[in-house]
Structure 1
Amino acid sequence: MQIITLNVNGVRAAARKGFYQWLPQQSADIVCIQELKAQLPDLSDDILAPAGYHGYFHCALKKGYSGVGIYSRFEPDRVVEGIGVEEIDQEGRYLQADFGNLSVISLYLPSGSSGDHRQASKFFFLDIFLPVLQEMINSGRDIILCGDWNIAHKEIDLKNWRANQKNSGFLPEEREWLSRVFDEIGYVDVFRRLNPAPDQYTWWSNRGQAWTNNVGWRIDYQIATPDVAEKAVEAEIYKESRFSDHAPLIIHYDAL
């Protein structure tokens, strides 16, 4: 099974940049997208259900903001929108599709970079979401959480780590929270299991020559329960075409 995740930074913008021409050329079974910046009436049929895929979406109430989606070649047994917390769910940050014992989740954590009020919302999300992650892993289900977590975990995960230690996305509290997800609860950073190399990033600022010089951050993940992570055999950050300020993260799982 091949799974792709991408923060599209506006799904209509990604469409104009060729994302939906590129997608059929991939062998992806499931595609998770984040930051739709649209409501369902705004979307064309090609975006709502690309050829060969079922499409599911959790849009934000606020127009032009946030939102997540899942495309699947297989119709899921169940789709869950949100985690049951109004303040979080009205921003369209969580969409879960269940296939037998496997749950695939498209997730978009808040960014705190626009000000203290948004950093407070981010910390609120982290506080609420940690026990949700614990409950999910306790359920015994196979789980893959795909998306933009807006946290670079370790120094290797961003180019200019020294200059960003007091900036949202690399704050000590955020990094410690993500360490708890891995070390205490037991989830696995699938990409890092397969690729320990430096200079592997999924997001680049539009300022300066960040993309050209590969001055980026690795903030997009596929995070899985251990049994699922063990089945991951190949990972790629696709950079041949640009559909967004993020790059698609592609992981192939054997025998899922």
Structure 2
Amino acid sequence: MKLLSWNVNGLRACLKKGFSESIQSVDPDVVCLQETKMGRDGPPDTGLGEYAHQIFHSAEKPGYSGTAILSKTEPISVEFDFGDSEFQGEGRVIAAEFANFYLVNAYVPNSQNELRRLPYRCDSWEPRTRKYLKSLSTSKPVYYCGDLNVAHKEIDIARPKANRRNAGFTDEERHEMDLLLGAGFTDTFRHFHPDATERYSWWSYRAGARKRNIGWRLDYFIASESASDSWISADIFDQIEGSDHCPVSLEVKD
């Protein structure tokens, strides 16, 4: 079973840049999207009729944030925002239960310029995420994916020294990832590619960053260590365009 995650930076815009064809070229069983930017509008026709089960979770603010799950298989159940009213309003989390695992799709808040949202991120969001994932994992393995808005290690960013205190590469955010991985979870891309360099999933639109591969690895599949026998492969589709992010994947035994 192939799982795919992609921050599309506006689904309608991405649809005009080959979104449907890109998804079909990879042919995943489940697609997780972040930053759909749907607002209160109804979802567009994705051109992916084979994904009969399409769940959209939009922010209250039009054109902001938002997540979606497109699946060939109907989930057993779906929950939004950790099931916690404190985290509602921005459309950031969808958890779907399947027969053999939970799939949690998240668009983690960016800490923003001047790190205005760093306290919220580290004091509220990240602890709640760990608690939720650990709770789910008591009954089934968990696959946690999405734009997690952190480059965990220096190997995950093209220019670590220049970005040390920038959002997404602060010591605090990286420490939160340490805590998550220390709670019984694994960064699956690093599991399969521990020493791979220059493998990124996001590039600034400025100064030809993507062409020069000046990027960050911000998109992940984090998995319960207990399910490691089920993992087959993890990849980054950096050749797929259409957004400032590219898709990432995890293939598991069904």
Q: What are structure 2's unaligned runs of at least 5 residues?
A: none
* TM-fit CA distance, 1:14: 0.9
Q: Secondary structure at the match of 1:92?
A: coil
* TM-fit CA distance, 1:167: 1.2
Percent of residue pairs bearing the same amino acid type = 35
TM-score normalised according to structure 1 size: 0.92
* TM-fit CA distance, 1:251: 2.2
Rounded to whole Å, the distance in 2 between the matches of 1:229 and 1:191 is 12
Matches within 5 A, 1:11-160: 11-39=11-39, 41-46=41-46, 50-53=48-51, 54-123=53-122, 124-137=124-137, 139-160=138-159
Aligned residue number for residue 222 of structure 1: 221
Aligned residue number for residue 197 of structure 2: 198
Post-superposition CA distance 1:93-147 (Å, at most 9, x none): 110111123111111100012344322332221233222233223x231110110
Any conservation in 1 of the 2:115–2:167 contact (CA below 8 Å)?
A: no
Any conservation in 1 of the 2:15–2:46 contact (CA below 8 Å)?
A: no
* TM-fit CA distance, 1:40: 5.6
CA RMSD, aligned part only?
1.6
The AA in structure 2 aligned to 1:131 is K
Rounded to whole Å, the distance in 2 between the matches of 1:240 and 1:153 is 22
Rounded to whole Å, the distance in 2 between the matches of 1:172 and 1:118 is 14
Aligned residue number for residue 185 of structure 2: 187
Q: Secondary structure at the match of 1:134?
A: helix
The alignment covers a number of residue pairs equal to 251
Any conservation in 2 of the 1:102–1:143 contact (CA below 8 Å)?
A: yes
Deviates more, 1:36-45 or 1:240-249: 36-45
TM-score normalised according to structure 2 size: 0.93
Any conservation in 1 of the 2:54–2:69 contact (CA below 8 Å)?
A: yes
* TM-fit CA distance, 1:243: 1.4
Any conservation in 2 of the 1:190–1:229 contact (CA below 8 Å)?
A: no
Rounded to whole Å, the distance in 2 between the matches of 1:240 and 1:117 is 33
* TM-fit CA distance, 1:148: 0.5
Aligned residue number for residue 211 of structure 1: 210
Rounded to whole Å, the distance in 1 between the matches of 2:93 and 2:67 is 7
Aligned residue number for residue 162 of structure 2: 163
Rounded to whole Å, the distance in 2 between the matches of 1:46 and 1:168 is 32
Post-superposition CA distance 1:206-227 (Å, at most 9, x none): 1112101111111100001113
* TM-fit CA distance, 1:164: 1.3
Q: What are structure 1's unaligned runs of at least 5 residues?
A: none
Rounded to whole Å, the distance in 2 between the matches of 1:173 and 1:239 is 27
Q: Judging changes above 3 Å, is the alpha-carbon distance between structure 1 residues 168 and 224 closer, same or farther for their aligned structure 2 residues?
A: same
